[in-house]
Chains A and B, each alone.
Chain A
């Protein structure tokens, strides 16, 4: 009975050993496969001597040295790790800390090709022996892409600097152009004004006509210079708005009064319809004046003599909307979309030969958009046109 049980135990132990060996075999095979098939280079070193114990095929291929030439050598004996001193230092560090890592290590392959690798080493115990496993990943391609990206970044930076310089040059050019154009125009306009008004003595009819032509032309040229500057500034985002709560009705009244002086010649009157009490809007007074002036002077320009221009201001939710309605020719529907683009030509003619720079509405739209406002138009040929401008109301402090 005792014999039997001893045999049974021995048999069981034997079974366990066989099973363990089989399991070990499976494990060994599994890890060997991983080692053999890994798409990273793996190097196993003896932690004490620094001798290479094993090299996986991927590393053999990466470095180009036959496996036999690698195994048994010390790390720094291999051409790839040519910097003996650095390799020794790294190895010493690895021995003391059990871990080293290089983000990017330059190596030379057997064929003399320079590659970059990411190098990570760990020390661990196998059969009471310290071994070092080095994982080596070829990052040459990644490195090259990084370098290309860096090069592109530098190129972009340089390009950006060049553009900034060009932009500054353009601004300088514009400011010089304004000054240099405005000065002689001031002289032309000023003297034609003095002559036209007879300040320097009376002129005959032909002289008056001639001087009037000079005066009107210089005035138009000045407006063109101003408008060009405005549009250049707006498109380059150089407009700084000085936003403050403003009474749109009061501003409109002032602008209407000024434009009614011009409208008088065509017997046109701009009227502001009575409105409820309105909250202040948030706007830049100077810029808004420009917008209102443009809308009102346009209305006069395209209105028939002896017609009326009606202005209404009303609250519309979080905005206040101003509408300028004329009884002019109206704009064909097909031309409405391009109305706010610079130098857009429409078939609509001014009713008294007034000239346009073609920039007024483009500037107006940009100014309104900068204010987070909105501008739109409704028109019917033969009936007239209404321009709408809405601006955000000022929030109570």
Chain B
């Protein structure tokens, strides 16, 4: 049985995916596989098949949006930790996000360190301080 930890990134914008990939690829040093999907349906299928520990999920996507994907992931595998990423930092969206049973909500623009830090914490990784502050 494959016990490798997985993180899934779902965002329709390629540069945001690249940013998230480059932010999270350091997790690979800790044996974490970082996966990506370019739209809602693909992301949902990947989440159901790969069962990652953590999903970073964009809200505004054409077709199947993040709220719907989140709901379906949670309905199938409630233990998968879902963090919604959205451009609309409004409290209404927040409520909607919570209704969609997401675990967390991070607004764009995000601090890459925050993304990395949350991922390390949720995956229960021991990250050295040197790693977090390469220049310090």
- Assess whether A194 is in contact with B23, with CB atoms less than 8 Å apart: yes
Assembled-state Cα–Cα distance A190/B16 (Å): 9
Complex: how many Å from CA A392 to CA B74?
41
Q: Which residue of A lies closest to B11 (CB)?
A: A183
Any B CB within 8 A of the CB of A185: yes
The secondary-structure label for the interface of chain A is: helix
Q: Is the CB of B113 within 8 A of A183?
A: no
B26 close to A (CB within 8 Å): yes
Given A182-B108, A198-B135: A190 touches B23 (CB 8 Å cut-off): yes
> With the chains together, A222 CA to B87 CA distance in Å?
11
- Of residues 107 through 125 on chain B, the ones whose CB sits less than 8 Å from some CB of chain A are 108-113
Q: Number of contacting residues on A, CB 8 A?
A: 26
Q: Is the CB of B23 within 8 A of A179?
A: no
Would you call A226 and B135 a contact (CB within 8 A)?
Answer: no
A202 CA to B133 CA, complexed, in Å: 12
Report yes or no: A187 in contact with B91, Cβ–Cβ below 8 A. Answer: no
Q: Which chain A residue lies CB-closest to B15?
A: A187
CB distance from B103 to the nearest CB of A (A): 19
Rounded to whole angstroms, the CA-CA distance of A186 and B85 in the bound complex is 11
- CB nearest to A284 among chain B residues: B91
Check if A199 is an interface residue, CB within 8 A of chain B: yes
Shortest CB–CB separation between residue B115 and chain A, in angstroms? 9
By a CB distance below 8 angstroms, the chain A residues around B88 are 175, 178-179
CA distance A18 to B41 in the complex (A): 110
Closest chain B residue to A188 by CB distance?
A: B109
Inter-subunit contact B22/A197 (CB<8 Å): no
CB-based contact B134/A198 at 8 Å: yes
Q: Closest residue of chain A to B111, judged by CB?
A: A193
* Contact count band on B: 20 to 34
Q: Does A242 contact B (CB under 8 A)?
A: yes
Contact A182 B87 (CB under 8 A): yes
Question: Do A199 and B109 have beta carbons less than 8 Å apart?
Answer: no
Distance to closest chain A CB from B56 (angstroms): 13
On chain A, the residues within 8 Å of B113 by CB distance are: 193, 197
Does A189 touch B at the CB level, under 8 Å?
yes
Q: Quick one: which of B22, B109, B111, B112 contacts A182, CB cutoff 8 A?
A: B109
Which residues does chain A contribute within 8 Å of B35, judged by CB atoms? none
**B135 and A202: CB pair below 8 A?**
yes
B11-34 contacts to A (CB < 8 Å): 13, 15-16, 18-19, 22-23, 26
* A285 → chain B closest CB, angstroms: 9
Q: Is the CB of A189 within 8 A of B109?
A: yes
| Contact of B135 (CB < 8 Å), options: A197, A284, A286 | A197
Shortest Cβ gap from B135 to chain A (Å): 4
Residue in A closest to B12 when the chains form the complex, CB atoms? A183
Q: Which residues of chain A come closer than 8 Å to B16, judged between CB atoms?
A: 183, 186-187, 190
Distance of A185 from chain B, by nearest CB (Å)? 6
A211 to B13, CA, bound (A): 23
Chain A positions 116-171 with a Cβ under 8 Å from a chain B Cβ: none
Decide if A191 is an interface residue (CB 8 Å cutoff): yes
Given known contacts A194-B112, A198-B135, is B87 in contact with A187 (CB within 8 Å)? Answer: no
- Min Cβ gap A147→B in Å is 45
Contact for A186 among B60, B91, B109, B133, CB less than 8 A: B109
Q: With a CB–CB cut-off of 8 A, which chain B residues contact A189? A: 109
B109 close to A190 (CB less than 8 A):
yes
User: A200 on the interface (CB 8 Å rule)?
Assistant: yes
Q: Looking at the complex, which one of B22, B87, B91, B111 makes contact with A183 (CB distance below 8 Å)?
A: B87
What is the CB-to-nearest-CB distance from A50 to chain B, in angstroms, rounded to a whole number?
Answer: 71
Residues from chain B with a CB closer than 8 A to the CB of A286 are 91
B87 touches A199 (CB 8 A): no
Min C-beta distance of B25 to chain A, whole Å: 10
A-B CB contact pairs (8 Å), 30 listed: A175-B88, A178-B87, A179-B87, A182-B108, A183-B13, A183-B16, A185-B109, A186-B108, A186-B110, A187-B16, A187-B18, A190-B19, A190-B110, A194-B19, A194-B23, A194-B112, A197-B112, A197-B135, A198-B134, A198-B135, A199-B22, A199-B26, A200-B22, A202-B134, A202-B135, A218-B109, A222-B109, A226-B89, A242-B91, A284-B91
Chain A: residues with CB nearer than 8 A to chain B?
175, 178-179, 182-187, 189-191, 193-194, 197-200, 202, 218, 222, 226, 240, 242, 284, 286
- Known contacts A175-B88, A226-B89, then 11 further A-B pairs from the complex at CB < 8 Å, ordered by chain A residue: A179-B87, A182-B87, A183-B13, A184-B15, A186-B87, A190-B16, A190-B109, A194-B22, A194-B112, A197-B135, A199-B134
Chain B residues packing against A (C-beta within 8 Å): 13, 15-16, 18-19, 22-23, 26, 60, 87-89, 91-92, 108-113, 133-135
Query: Which 5 pairs show the lowest CB-CB distances between chains A and B?
Result: A186-B109, A182-B87, A198-B135, A187-B15, A198-B134
